[in-house]
Chain A
Amino acid sequence: MRGWGRGRCSVLNGLPEIIPTFNSFLLQFEGKYDYDLLVIGGGSGGLACSKEAAQLGRKVAVLDYVEPSPKGTRWGLGGTCVNVGCIPKKLMHQAALLGTAVKDATKYGWDIPSPVRHDWATMAQAIQNHVKSLNWGHRVQLQDKKVTYLNLKGSFVDNHTIQGVSKTGKKTVLTAENIVIATGGRPKYPPQVPGAELGISSDDIFWFKDSPGKTLVVGGSYVGLECAGFLTGIGLNTSLMVRSIPLRGFDQQMAQLVTDHMVSHGTRLLWKCVPRSVERETSGRLHVTWSDQQSGRVEGDTFDTVMWAVGRTAETKELSLERAGVPVNPKTGKIIVGAGEESSVPNIYAIGDVTEGRPELTPTAIRAGKLLARRLCGQVTELMDYDKVPTTVFTPLEYGCVGLSEEKAVSSFGQDNIEVYHAYYKPLEFSVTERGANQCYIKMLCLREGDQRILGLHFIGPNAGEVIQGFALAIKCEATYSQLVATVGIHPTCAEDVNKLNITKRSRLDPTVTGC
């Protein structure tokens, strides 16, 4: 029971701003709550946490409620990743990759009548069916693992009490010893753009039954790049507007290569442009005007769909966190948590995208949720390790990375103390199809001294996620450059070019890989 007792002391220890309701106050002394653990939010983190705690014998409920998007899109259990994120995104990326493969196939001897046509409705139906099967699978798992699922929108009454409101407005009050907030985030709309409400967000695009047509994607986030990438890939006229830099927070040399490839792949990039207005034409199409900050001119064009990818906000506004005394970062709205995912209220925790300073990634939320459940049940003391978390951006040419960006390595260790190995390489498969490989590039950052411990690895090319995952283990185990080059590659692969890295930026030698 170690760990679960913690919450009980909170009021007795006296957090003056918390005034519990009489009900909860009484329960505290009796030690009787409806649940041992209440999780608000049935996304990746919340589901993982609730199932783990239930399997360890706790009485657990998870509240999940999807507020429809401003366009009215709604979905089932599983959160962003399953419904409007990773899953449909990767499948639409795959649809786009297949288009390229079909074109390449003719070079490999396949007789394919052209032009090949992509049917959005077929793709969307298949992907949406898969997502629905995942929704059902999550329901079955919760039931199987004896987690009570409540389709209610939760908000705090006090630090042990949650009010759940159903679709029809019916209210239910629930109490719990511990509460985990895992409500995630939702896409933002730009506040200063008249007509912004005519646009959609990533909450809608994956649930479109018909093609979005000619599309403007606004935002240089990975969401913006990925969506613009797959829309281009399935043959739609696609523009991507970026105000400042693409992929903020990622290595900027890599980000530039990724966007260079997108341009060569057919996406129209509107650099340094800021949207001014969106208006509906009589035809029903959307006329967008924007300022080009470089030329100072105002430009415009007409689109069938405008998609905002200008960032995400944490879903904390409607939780009434002030009633429980849980502080958020006023700038981001995200919940401030410690190394154990604890908020400043001892029995309230938060995991996933809703937390301040954590990566917005499904696997980190899942792992953080599971570990939190185990710690709460006194099974372990292990904390989530957020260091060296690998990730991949599924742009048409994928970008995978783990560890530090070059900028971060330089600022942390100093230019003179790091060695940057890099190489342009050509995937073998590209040679037959005469596909350009100008952006296929690998960069590895190492400490300069001794065996040269690897600080970060960046890879642009096909299947970047599959390539990076294995190296992430090595780097997590503190692998060095010496160990990497002592590892034999698999021929012919793109990943072997990581093992073959030998040109340093410092040498100024040509990093273009030649020969076999």
Chain B
Amino acid sequence: MVFVEINVQSLDSFNRALEENKGKAIFVYFTGTKDAKGLSWCPDCVKAEPIVRAELSKLPEGSIFIYCQTGDKSCWKDPNNVFRKSFKLSSIPTLLKYGTPQKLVEEELLNSELVQMLFTED
């Protein structure tokens, strides 16, 4: 593995992951929280995840992939959802390169070439 995946579900752990990986290329995937059975309530996230995962091997050497579960349905739909507010998210799934304007949302994530572009281009 050339990259490290970090799973977070709270803003605290998110910020800790950022702090611990300062200076590295950080990619964040915001998605709906999965239930105990590992199922997501968010159909778009379910569709996008395998496409995003299939491209992870293209991540740059030494980069960080934060897999961020933003909450269950009611938690995400709340306009005050911490991730929604902190990262100005309008929808999930969202994939972004932290600290850059490079961002893909919803159906853009069904296009593996776009995902690859986000992972590989400066």
Closest to A135 in B: B101
Residues 133-175 of A at the B interface (beta carbon under 8 Å) = 133, 135-136, 139-140, 143-144
Task: List the A residue with the shortest CB-CB distance to B113.
Answer: A143
Chain A: residues with Cβ within 8 Å of the partner, total of 10
Whether A143 lies near B101 (C-beta < 8 A) is no
- Shortest Cβ distance from residue B114 to the other chain A in the assembled complex, whole angstroms: 5
User: Which of B100, B111, B117 has a CB less than 8 Å from the CB of A139?
Assistant: B117
Partner of B117, one of A130, A135, A143: A143
For window 98-122 of B, CB contacts with A under 8 Å fall at 100-104, 108, 111, 113-114, 117, 121
The answer to whether B108 touches A132 (Cβ under 8 A) is no
Majority SS at the chain A contact face: helix
Question: What number of residue pairs across chains A and B have CB atoms under 8 A from each other?
Answer: 23
A135–B121 alpha-carbon span in the complex (Å): 12
A140 engages B101 (CB within 8 Å) = no
Between-chain CB contacts (< 8 Å), 15 pairs: A129-B101, A132-B100, A133-B101, A135-B101, A136-B100, A136-B101, A139-B121, A140-B108, A140-B114, A140-B117, A143-B113, A143-B114, A143-B117, A144-B108, A144-B114
**Which residue of A has the minimal Cβ distance to B104?**
A140
Residue of A nearest to B114 (CB): A143
Smallest CB separation, A130 vs chain B (Å):
8
A130 and B103 CA atoms in complex are apart in Å by 13
A contact residues around B114 at 8 Å (CB) = 140, 143-144
Within 8 A of A (CB), among B65-122: 100-104, 108, 111, 113-114, 117, 121
Contacts of A136 in B (CB 8 A): 100-103
* Nearest CB of A to B89, in Å: 15
In the assembled complex, the Cα of A129 lies from the Cα of B104 at a distance in Å of 16
Chain B residues, CB < 8 A from A143: 111, 113-114, 117
Within 8 A of B (CB), among A110-129: 129
Contact partners of B121 in chain A: CB under 8 A: 139
Question: What are the nearest 6 A-B pairs in CB distance?
Answer: A133-B101, A132-B101, A136-B102, A136-B101, A143-B114, A143-B113
Task: List residues of chain A with CB within 8 A of the CB of B103.
Answer: 136
- B59 CB to nearest chain A CB (Å): 18
- CB closest chain-A residue, reference B121: A139
Residues of A within 8 A of B101 (CB): 129-130, 132-133, 135-136
A130 and B100 CA atoms in complex are apart in Å by: 10
Shortest distance in angstroms between A125's beta carbon and chain B's nearest beta carbon?
A: 12
Residue of B nearest to A131 (CB): B101
* Nearest A residue to B103, CB-CB: A136
CB distance from A484 to the nearest CB of B (A): 43
Roughly how many angstroms separate A133 CA and B108 CA in the complex, as a whole number?
A: 16
Interface of chain B residues 20 through 67 with chain A (CB within 8 A): none
Chain B residue nearest in CB terms to A146:
B113
B21 to chain A, nearest CB (A): 21
In angstroms, Cα B103 to Cα A139, docked, is 11
CA distance A140 to B111 in the complex (A): 10
**Which residues of the other chain, B, contact A130 by a CB distance below 8 angstroms?**
101
- Across-interface contacts of A129 in B (CB, < 8 A): 101
Complex: how many Å from CA A135 to CA B104?
14
Shortest Cβ distance from residue B87 to the other chain A in the assembled complex, whole angstroms: 14
In Å, the complex CA distance between A143 and B120 comes to 14
The distance in angstroms between the C-alpha atoms of A143 and B116, with both chains bound, is: 11
CA distance A129 to B88 in the complex (A): 15
Q: Pick from A132, A133, A135, A144: contact of B111, CB below 8 A.
A: A144
Q: How far is the CB of B116 from chain A (nearest CB, A)?
A: 9
Closest to A151 in B: B121
Q: How far is the CA of A132 from the CA of B104 in the complex (A)?
A: 14
Give chain A residues whose Cβ lies under 8 Å from the Cβ of B113: 143
List A contacts of B100 (CB < 8 A). Answer: 132, 136
Taking CB atoms, residues of chain B closer than 8 Å to A132 are: 100-101
